[in-house]
Amino acid sequence: MLLTSLFERRQVSLGTFDEWLDRAFEGQPSATGTWVGPEVAMGVTAVYAAVRLLAETVASLPLIVYKRLPDGGKQRDPDHPLSEILGLLPNRWQTSFEYREMMMGHLVLRGNAYGAIIPGAPISEIIPLHPDRVKPKFIDGRIIYVHRPDKGGERIYLDEEIFHVKGLSSNLLKGLSPLAIAREAIAVAISTQEYGARFFGNDARPGGVLQTPHTLEEPERENLKTSWEAAHRGTARSHKVAVLEHGMEWKQIGLTGAEAQLLESRKFQISEIARIFNVPAHMLKDLDRATFSNIEHLSLEFIMYSLLPWLRRWEQAIHRSLMGAETRKTHFVEFLLDGLLRGDRAARFDSYTKGIQWGILSPNEVRRLENMNPRPGGDVYLQPLNMIPSGSSMADADRNVRLALHDVIESMGLPGGPSGPALPIASEKKTLSPAATRSLTARRRLRDAFAPIFAEASRRLIRFETTRVRQSVKKFLGERTVTQFSEWVTEFYGDEGDLVERAAGTLRAPIVTYFEAIQIEGADEVGADPGMTPELEQFTERYVEAFAARHAQASRVQLEELVDTTLTEELAEKMGTRLDEWDETRPAQIAHRETVQGGSALVRAVYMAAGTVSLIWVAGGNACPLCAELDGKVIGIQSSFVDAGGTVDPDDGVTAPLTAGYNVRHPQLHGGCECDIVAG
């Protein structure tokens, strides 16, 4: 029944098909009298640029066949038959780039792109068909495609034999032609272009007119006209020197208003054509509204709003026409946009760092994105450890944060831990060995080198923190809702608040890198192997976690104290002053504290792993009386230089004693302390 209907329909449609085909090739008339067709429209440079931009961009993107994984993930499947068809050779005459470029050109200009599917395993080739020679029809509830080749005759394709990508459509059969819909705007562009060509081609005026006091007879006027045009007509002869006779005078004139607006009209048509094809005007080389500050966002808009819809049309057309029902369950295709979304080098590597920190990317995945070969061990995904156990309060975390660093060492079963032998405790002062002096000098140099890195990372953290707090101050304190502000502070700085997560993420990379460098120097001092062991890596992760909890707690305490001690009328102002202080001072404070305290904590863990039994306190070059009091003090590695509740009381008679709030097992003793430890 279907075949009968097809052949019957073919016999009665020949005449109308020919008429339709002629109209398709010639274009359609406009109000200007210009016929607008694809070939004529491509003569307009803006149209050509828009079509080429979309066609070349789609053609240049990798088109990947993926296998669906049971866990919801995906895996590239280069062995799938469609991988070679779509990515390399769609047919014997074209590469994948050439094929997609042609098809996209058809799609942009005519609203449709057709390809004949040649059966194979399951597909052997896709042959492009010119859309002007294809007409889709409904026959007995099915779509068929009537194709008339260049040499005449007809061939009828069933729906499953055609790969059809449609643009914006008003029916089930075909997409709408942008040229047909916007022919008037394109006709104006064609007309202004032709007018400009005729204007400059026929320009017989070197900027003025001739005047004579005599009346010229008809033959004289014709001779003058002929000789003048021969000497000055056309751009090649414009502005030549003119020789005037018989009292003739030259009168300088300018262009008419309409002529002077010719270039403005043509520039406006670029914006019109950019709207028709939905591409940014700056990508058609119209840079009037493009600046260094917005050019990147304009390019992103091109990807999101211009290119992405076309790519989705392609992907879904491939799923519908080139994949069977069973294949669609196991595979899908997708364009890879990574190349277009690459920022500058600094932005890319900042993004990579965050991706690696949070286990989104592995180092080898980053290397592949940068066109670098993988390296051994680079397929490991890191896991952030920036949360404290559920049910623990921030007060508990703050109280135990320093003890946690010691606890993790003890849990390793190292000498001096619960499963190791007891170590002696000594109190006499000792001098430094050459190895200790060398290690100490190297570690202090590392501290100075890493301090700016820590400060910059801390500056980003504080900027994020103060911005969020200022927003909350404006929102809640502006309406005198102090209770809601306090609730927000508790949530923001809480166990699962944004600040804890951001603090760990921002400082993790500097801490890890710094600890790796410190480990090498500490290991060299005690004769251990360089390199982070799993136990030291665990220690580093716990330190990052402790830093995040400690920083959040310190910030929250300061804000809560202001709320408790300040009148409501003055609270917003004092909050602003405190946040300004944070912006100015806290990055440097964090950098100093974490390089001194973190380096000491890590090197102590290295000593314990190597079996070192004692530590020596080494005061910094500008040591205060408190630190000087501890200089040279020797303790067992499991002991404390100052026990919690104990005091350091210099004998200078000026400095007030310091009472320790926790067991001081390594520097810092107090804020600003620059002391170190070495192996005893």
Task: Quote the crossing angle between the two packed helices 308-322 and 96-110, to the nearest 10°.
Answer: 110
Please state the pTM of the whole predicted model.
0.47
625 touches 650 (CB < 8 A): yes
Token look-up 């202001």 returns 562
Q: What is the pLDDT of residue 32?
A: 56
Q: Is the distance from CB of 417 to CB of 411 less than 8 angstroms?
A: yes
Average pLDDT over residues 427-449: 80
Mean pLDDT of 127-139: 92
Q: Does residue 289 have a pLDDT over 90?
A: no
Instruction: Find residue 647's DSSP bridge partners.
Output: 659
3-state DSSP call for residue 315? Answer: helix
Are 320 and 328 in contact by the 8 Å Cβ rule? The answer is: no
Cβ atoms of residues 203 and 235 within 8 Å: yes
- Whether omega for the bond prior to residue 657 falls within 30 degrees of 0, making it cis, is no
Tell me: pLDDT of 55 over 90: yes
Place of tokens 């989104």: 360
The model's pLDDT over 350-394, given as tens digits with 9 standing for 90+, comes to 777 777 777 778 888 888 777 778 887 778 776 554 444 444 443
At position 151, the amino acid (one-letter code) is: K
Summarize the confidence of residues 635-646 as an average pLDDT.
Answer: 89
Is residue 667 within 8 A of residue 593, CB to CB? The reply is: no
Decide: 404 and 392 in contact? Cβ < 8 Å: no
Band of the pLDDT at 203, cuts 50, 70, 90?
Answer: low
Contacts of 175 (CB under 8 A, 6+ apart): 107, 110, 111, 112, 166, 167, 168, 169
Residue 15 has pLDDT above 60, yes or no: no
Pick the residue with more confidence: 315 or 2? 315
Which pLDDT score is estimated for 245?
Answer: 64
pLDDT at 52: 92
Average pLDDT, the chain: 78
Query: What is the C-alpha separation between 636 and 632, in angstroms, rounded?
Result: 13
pLDDT the model gives residue 238 = 58
Residues in the chain: 680
